[in-house]
A and B are shown apart, each in its own frame.
Chain A
Amino acid sequence: MSKNNIERISGRAPDELRNVSIKAGVIKNADGSALIEFGKNKIMAAVFGPKEVHPKHMMVSDRAIIKCRYHMMPFSTDTRKRPNISRREIEISKVIREALQPAIIMEDYPRTAIEIYIEILQSDGGSRCAAINAASTALADAGINMRDLVAACAAGKVNGQVVLDVDDTEDKTGEADMPIALLPNTGLITLFQLDGNLSKEEFDKALELGKTGCDKLYKLQRDALSEKYFNDKNGNKEE
């Protein structure tokens, strides 16, 4: 796709992601952490665990449990957000937890809890996908046994055209938004949501675009981990 046949507010091509940077291990006190800058989104994720379960009745004898908290800072939006946990945040916490769960080998940590804290410092649409990318990198940084990393990206429909990585303005004015998360090596989709209407052709195209976006983000996650631990941006490229 060329840059000429579209009219996106940000000036991006339909299959172009926003500028993304991921940094692993940014918080000293957490077992694992990551900071992602996804366009104007700034998101920090921290992982603690495996640790003891509180309250004890939530403990599962043959595997770990995952606790996830997605929280937006009062200054993260254009108008002040009340700092207490909202209904939307509870829902996104659940969605993120369920997107990450298939990647974590929970059977390796019986009777424990793995806690994931996600703080949205600045939001600009697509924060749940960015948060999943950050949380997945933080889990790997914490040394938690995982089947795969989880990469997430949204596709959508804006001005009648299927586009990749919908930002806040496009989300508000567009016709559809479709965040997806997947395990890149196996292709298993762990999050799939669709807000809006798409025809079958548009849906197929959006899914394909979303997968392409996830592949790009997966490479950035690899680079972030390599950069921290092997001091090498292309440390994983050898075959």
Chain B
Amino acid sequence: MENSNKRKERVIPGDELAVIEEYESGKGTHTIDGQIHSSVFGKTKFDNKNKSVEVKGPRSTSELPQVNDQVEGVLENDKTLRIKKINGKISFGSLVGLMAKTKMPNWGTNDYIRATVVSLTNGITHIVVKNDNDDDGVIRSTCNMCADRVVKVQKGVKCVSCGFFKYKKLAADFQG
């Protein structure tokens, strides 16, 4: 990738970048009447090899979860996940996902978990902790009884203070 000297490096929304005969419109850009314009403020990236142009901003709130995306967040209650990251990227929007119903919930309120988006039906982000995916599961947790620190034991977590054990599906990178 390389920037042409003639082109603007720093742009804000509405700035003209190129024409569609020259480049393809990439992330952070939009097209009006054959002209590619910037949609966000940031720095331009002209890819002369693939003939595409994109704008990379210091912030991007544009990412919304899609099906099969991995999301991370805090469980506000048994069903609602406040999404903090989408595919490892910080999400600035206050988005929530709905945890799919299971016979035995293997997570608890205030757990920081990673889960997979399974559907976007009726505008609701349905997410599920997949048992067959090592990445999915609880990343950080506290004791559900005394809120103290927990440690990983077989198939769950145990409180270091009161000894309360709870079965939880832990992510491979569980941090306690």
| B123:A185 contact, CB within 8 angstroms | no
Q: Mark A85-111, 1 if CB is under 8 A from B, else 0.
A: 000000000000000000101001111
- Verify if A78 is at the interface (C-beta below 8 Å from B): no
* In the complex, chain B residues 12-59 whose Cβ is within 8 Å of any chain A Cβ: 12-16, 28, 30, 32, 37, 39-42, 57-59
- Verify if B96 is at the interface (C-beta below 8 Å from A): yes
Report A-chain residues with C-beta under 8 Å of the C-beta of B92.
31, 142-143
Known: A51-B94, A142-B92, A225-B41. A147 touches B64 (CB 8 A): no
- Verify if A48 is at the interface (C-beta below 8 Å from B): yes
Interface centre among B28, B59, B61, B62 (most CB of A within 10 A): B61
- Verify if A23 is at the interface (C-beta below 8 Å from B): no
- Verify if A229 is at the interface (C-beta below 8 Å from B): yes
| B40:A146 contact, CB within 8 angstroms | yes
Report B-chain residues with C-beta under 8 Å of the C-beta of A148.
13-14, 37
| B8:A186 contact, CB within 8 angstroms | no
Which bracket fits the contact residues of B? 20 to 34
A interface SS class:
loop
* In the complex, chain A residues 206-239 whose Cβ is within 8 Å of any chain B Cβ: 221-222, 225-226, 229-230, 232, 235-236, 238-239
| A236:B37 contact, CB within 8 angstroms | no
| B12:A222 contact, CB within 8 angstroms | yes
B interface SS class:
loop
| B95:A51 contact, CB within 8 angstroms | yes
Report B-chain residues with C-beta under 8 Å of the C-beta of A146.
13-14, 39-40
- Verify if B11 is at the interface (C-beta below 8 Å from A): yes
The distance in angstroms between the C-alpha atoms of A229 and B9, with both chains bound, is 13
The distance in angstroms between the C-alpha atoms of A142 and B41, with both chains bound, is 10
| A143:B8 contact, CB within 8 angstroms | no
| B93:A112 contact, CB within 8 angstroms | yes
- Verify if B60 is at the interface (C-beta below 8 Å from A): yes
| A147:B12 contact, CB within 8 angstroms | no
* In the complex, chain B residues 94-128 whose Cβ is within 8 Å of any chain A Cβ: 94-96, 120, 123
The distance in angstroms between the C-alpha atoms of A24 and B13, with both chains bound, is 15
* In the complex, chain A residues 39-67 whose Cβ is within 8 Å of any chain B Cβ: 48-53, 56, 59, 61
11 CB < 8 A contacts A-B = A31-B59, A50-B64, A51-B94, A110-B64, A140-B12, A145-B40, A147-B30, A149-B12, A149-B14, A185-B15, A236-B10
Interface residues of B (CB under 8 A from A): 8-16, 28, 30, 32, 37, 39-42, 57-62, 64, 92-96, 120, 123
